[in-house]
């Protein structure tokens, strides 16, 4: 049995700060799950085959986009719609991430397992019910990394959240033939198995802003905690915002300028590779990977292309890859992207051989 390895016990003078950080984190999770995420996911699942997408990379539409508009206008409006669709995830991710940064410093060196498999499995289990896409999981992952959490655990949670959410997995099995839906689960499982070879473990170094313990009176301690939490929130926002804006514009350019809805495109090896690379980079909101793939499937797009998109749109995106590259190194980010694209290609090639209707 794998046992977690602790570097040191929690400091008792920080019990108030730890409790407050936990309260904020749990409160953010409960409000997000009960008021927005799971009601929205269940609504999409109950829509079944009537599911619709409002834009190429968004469920919601704040600004109308038509093919007659100039390309720069379409890109700008699609970028705004993507940011609008992700607003609830970010409303949750930033406060929750700041709470985790504050909490990790309060408890000392974060817990981790002595084996790579233990860290990956723990991250996968923790991420599955989180209910955020890879884009909104990125600020949470950044906060954990800044706080000194296990690299493999953090990346596994970021992959697991969009890939293994039970409602989204159920949607895939409702909407697609069994081989295609099974592929949607097998690919991220293989990605997690390969994670120890793709992502190196980090050192146990805490770099977040800590809560001073010198002030023993309740009032000063509360003020110090609020100041620390707000600094962590600002730090996380500044760490997140530039990459999020870059992902919005780049994703909108790819979605608007690259043809995606051709129903008579002949299947080719190069075509599958191109679709897999596109799916790896596109930053789509939660469950939109299943939604877009189903729209294409229903429109008659060849199954190898549908499979490649279905298996690559969820686990990572240009946004998460660039953010991870900034913190873990561009080699790690490139390895993750390459692994997702390769698995997406494999899914497409398998569907070229299977007689699925």
Structure tokens at 106: 């309060």
Looking at residue 200, what is its pLDDT? 92
Q: Which two tokens stand for residue 107?
A: 């408890």
338 Cβ contact partners less than 8 Å away, ≥ 6 residues apart: none
pLDDT at 307: 94
> Does residue 134 sit in helix, strand or coil?
helix
pTM value? Answer: 0.81
pLDDT of residue 211: 46
| Residue burial 86-125, b: 16+ Cβ < 10 Å; e: rest | bebbbebbbbbbbbbbbbbbbbbbbbbbeebebbbbbbbe
Helix ranges, the chain (H): 15-32, 38-47, 71-85, 87-106, 116-127, 134-146, 151-163, 166-175, 178-198, 218-257, 269-281, 288-299, 303-312, 318-328, 330-353
Give the total residue count for the chain.
Answer: 357
Low-confidence stretches of the chain (pLDDT beneath 70) = 1-14, 105-111, 204-216, 258-265, 355-357
pLDDT at residue 202, as a whole number: 79
Distance CA 261, CA 252 (A): 15
pLDDT given at position 11: 44
Contact status, residue 94 vs residue 324, Cβ threshold 8 Å: no
């Amino acid at each position: 049995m794998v046992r977690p390895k602790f570097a040191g016990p929690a400091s008792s003078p920080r019990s108030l700060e730890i409790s407050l950080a936990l309260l904020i984190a749990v409160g953010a999770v409960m409000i997000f799950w009960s008021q927005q995420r799971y009601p929205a996911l269940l609504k999409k699942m109950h829509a079944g085959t009537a599911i619709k997408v409002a834009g190429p990379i968004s469920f919601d539409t704040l600004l109308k986009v038509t093919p007659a508009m100039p390309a720069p206008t379409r890109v700008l409006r699609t970028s705004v719609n993507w940011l609008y669709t992700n607003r609830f995830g970010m409303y949750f991710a930033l406060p929750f991430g700041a709470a985790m940064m504050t909490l990790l410093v309060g408890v000392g060196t974060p817990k981790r397992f002595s084996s790579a498999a233990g860290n990956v499995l723990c991250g996968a289990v923790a991420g599955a019910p989180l209910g955020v896409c890879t884009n909104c999981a990125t600020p949470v992952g950044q906060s954990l990394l800044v706080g000194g959490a296990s690299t493999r655990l953090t990346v596994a949670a970021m992959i697991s959240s969009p890939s293994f959410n039970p409602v989204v997995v159920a949607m895939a099995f409702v909407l697609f033939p069994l081989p295609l839906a099974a592929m949607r689960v097998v690919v991220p499982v293989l990605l997690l198995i390969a994670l120890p070879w793709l992502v190196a473990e980090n050192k146990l170094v805490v770099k977040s802003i800590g809560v001073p313990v010198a002030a023993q009176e309740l009032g000063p301690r509360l003020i110090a905690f609020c100041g620390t939490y707000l600094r962590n929130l600002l730090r996380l926002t500044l760490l997140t915002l530039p990459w999020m804006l870059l992902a919005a514009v780049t994703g909108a350019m790819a979605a608007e300028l690259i043809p995606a809805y051709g129903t008579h495109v002949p299947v080719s090896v190069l075509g599958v590779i191109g679709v897999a690379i596109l799916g790896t980079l596109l930053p789509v909101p939660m469950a939109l990977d299943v939604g877009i793939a189903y729209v294409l499937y229903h429109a008659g797009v060849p199954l190898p292309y549908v499979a490649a998109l279905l298996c690559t749109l969820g686990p990572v995106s240009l946004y998460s890859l660039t953010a991870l590259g900034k913190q873990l190194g561009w080699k790690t980010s490139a390895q993750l992207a390459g692994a997702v694209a390769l698995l997406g290609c494999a899914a497409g090639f398998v569907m070229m051989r299977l007689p699925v209707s």
